[in-house]
Amino acid sequence: MMDSVLPDTSTNAIASSTPTSHPHSQPSLPQTLLVPKPEPFWDTHIETSDELDLYSEFNRVTELFHFAFGATNVVDPFGATNVACPEQTPLVPVPQELDSAAQPDPNSPSEDVLRAIVPVPPEQQDGAVATATVPRRKQSRQKELVRVMDLSPRDEAHLRETVRRTRLIYDSLRVLTSVEEEKRVASVAAAAVAAAAAVTTLEGCLPVDGSTGKLRRLRGDLRAASLMRERGLWLNRDKRIVGAIPGIMVGDLFLFRMELCVVGLHGQIQAGIDFLPASMSSTGEPIATSVIVSGGYEDDMDDGEVIVYTGHGGQEKNSSRQISHQKLESGNLALERSMHYGVEVRVIRGMKYEGSAAGSGKVYVYDGVYRIVDCWFDVGRSGFGVYKFKLWRIEGQAKMGSAILKEARNVRRSELDLNPTSADMANRKENVAVRLFNDFDDDRGPLCYEYLVRTCFPKFVFHQSGKATGCDCVDGCGDGCFCAMKNGGEFPYTLQGHLVRGKPLIFECGPFCSCPPHCRNRVAQKGLKYRLEVFRSKQTSWGVRSLDLIQAGSFICEFAGVVLTREQAQLLTMNDIPGLCASIVSVNPPLDISLDVSTMRNVACYMSHSSTPNVWVQFVLHDHNNLMFPHLMLFAMENIPPMRELSLDYGVADEWTGKLSICN
């Protein structure tokens, strides 16, 4: 289980949040136990109010994307496409001799390529207005085999955004489902206790474990996928793409197998070989498109660039034991035919990795395309015959994601032996060392600043709000507690400490609360937990990356500086001290403050700018109650693989809420 950021779409965030979230204006709510809902959450085809809530969340993400990624070329998840047109056809049927009739229509190349990525509902194709709330029928995979080539940079960027958005929606729905399930299970359990004497039977309407009688939670990964499938939000459904999937980069990281299906990287939910079945192929032969290498077969060999992949079949049900000979059929035959026609396959590696969200501890990494160079029948360790395929990685691709993951793991382990203070920018002030890494030149600049762990506010900030308010919880905070109410009746974080969705302002528990430090409503205040590294990058001078895998929704660090009042900031700006102005991050009205990072700073100000950032700015209060002076907390917008550069979009932050911008 874990989470994602569903940023709020309110443009005047602080102002709009004030009436409902300020402690003093909060209507008094009964502090009694929540009344459990009698109706099941997901077990009906009729949309319950909970489901509707979920859909509105989902809509909210869409709006965010319209907002954040430019209004012009955004596709509405409900089907209202408005897409860019590439100049030339990037779609080529493959292999030519297999399907020569499938030449793309030269008159509509753009629709063709984009429809391969973004499903277009039939009603829209007819020119009718798409009905936003009616789920479409599930769309099956199609048979046309294509390769996407020569995308213009503009299309590539657009399709990358489509993938990013799809993944954000997936992760959001996944987390919302698990949060809802968590609540439902808790409330039903409470109801069961309350109704123990009354012997109210709940059988038949709730998933209950047959053997133990305990409540089962629905799986968020599956639920998110099926919600999206019902609405035609899976990508690459109406073309079988051979080779790279547009918008997916080598090294992209997935935390659930189901997510691979949603983006179209691999269409099989469990099977390792994905292929166009013989019955759908123009030549009557199956063609493989992707494989997952998870080490599930005892005869696999994996050296990274070269893989010996075992075909499927012959295993005992629900076990990995070979109990019979494999046959050259379905996926096995597809790999053999792909070799024959020289069709490359995508390779996704599944590996156990620290920081995985799944109970299995696995992550999935896209490692690029491979060519099948050999195929033979062999006797495996079990004594039964297996098919083996030798795969070579095609040259000229970005470094393998799985290799980067392993390297990062090695660096982390070797770090333990090193003196942690040697190049710790933070001078042991953070929970973990912040490394400085520069193999480009001798610049050690970041070491020259005084390290500021958290933002310094003027003293009056702590006094102005008058009587401090907090919760009275003796143990961890629970539903309905005062601090939950301040956050609109729910906690902003999951039990695992991930942001559920972006909000205008988050109220964490603070010194005026009686709850203990392990309370679920204390996350960002606990500071850094990932091993960040400030490194020299040729393109952007300095950058920040992490040695650890960062899950979407995780807190990364504060954007720390010294807060100046508007008067102070203006004074400094008017005096025009060279170099100073560029290092002031101003938070304009309604916040009306500026952050000075010219003399004291933390790791955050080395993050580079991107219009497609992977880090999100979230306002958080924890050590005082002054709404005008929130902490700027940075959370991961997506799953960030180790060693990938972190980036922020200061411009978007400026638009969506706090008017965060750099003056220069």
Contact residues toward DNA (CB under 7 A) are 1, 140-141, 207, 209-212, 214, 216-217, 219, 221-223, 225-226, 229, 256-258, 261, 267-280, 286, 292-297, 300, 309-310, 312-315, 317-319, 329-330, 350, 358-360, 362
CB of 98 to DNA, least distance (A): 16
DSSP-derived 3-state class of residue 175: helix
CB of 270 to DNA, least distance (A): 3
CB of 209 to DNA, least distance (A): 6
Cβ atoms 527, 557 nearer than 8 A: yes
- Report the largest interatomic distance among the alpha carbons of the chain, rounded to a whole angstrom: 82
Closer of 388 and 501 to DNA (Cβ): 388
Q: Which of these, 93, 96, 73, lies nearest to 142 by C-alpha position? A: 93
C-alpha distances (whole Å) from 53 to each of 48, 59, 176 are 9, 10, 10
Closer of 127 and 210 to DNA (Cβ): 210
Closer of 330 and 525 to DNA (Cβ): 330
SS3 labels along 392-441: EECCCCCCCHHHHHHHHHHHHHHHCCCCCCCCECCCCCCCCCCEEECCCC
**Rounded to an integer, what is the distance from CA 19 to the centroid of its chain?**
31
CB of 305 to DNA, least distance (A): 17
DSSP-derived 3-state class of residue 451: strand
Cα–Cα dist 171/509, whole Å: 26
Cβ atoms 110, 206 nearer than 8 A: no
CB of 210 to DNA, least distance (A): 4
CB of 56 to DNA, least distance (A): 22
Closer of 51 and 329 to DNA (Cβ): 329
CB of 264 to DNA, least distance (A): 9
Closer of 235 and 562 to DNA (Cβ): 235
Closer of 257 and 501 to DNA (Cβ): 257
Closer of 218 and 581 to DNA (Cβ): 218
Closer of 117 and 560 to DNA (Cβ): 117
Closer of 363 and 560 to DNA (Cβ): 363
Report the phi/psi class of residue 340: left, alpha or beta, with left for phi > 0 and alpha for psi in -120 to 50. alpha
Closer of 496 and 565 to DNA (Cβ): 496
C-alpha distances (whole Å) from 489 to each of 9, 93, 180, 360 are 19, 53, 14, 32
CB of 492 to DNA, least distance (A): 22
Closer of 211 and 419 to DNA (Cβ): 211
Phi then psi dihedrals of residue 29, to 5 deg: -110, 145
CB of 439 to DNA, least distance (A): 35
CB of 5 to DNA, least distance (A): 19
> How many residues does this entry show for the chain?
664
C-alpha distances (whole Å) from 323 to each of 309, 313, 383 are 18, 9, 9
CB of 605 to DNA, least distance (A): 36
* Start-to-end Cα distance in the chain: 42
Q: What is the DSSP string of 323-388?
A: -S---S-HHHHHHHHHHHHT--EEEEEEEE-TT-SSTT-EEEEEEEEEEEEEEEEEE-TTSSEEEE
Cα–Cα dist 389/392, whole Å: 10
Q: Cβ atoms within 10 A of the Cβ of 171, count?
A: 30
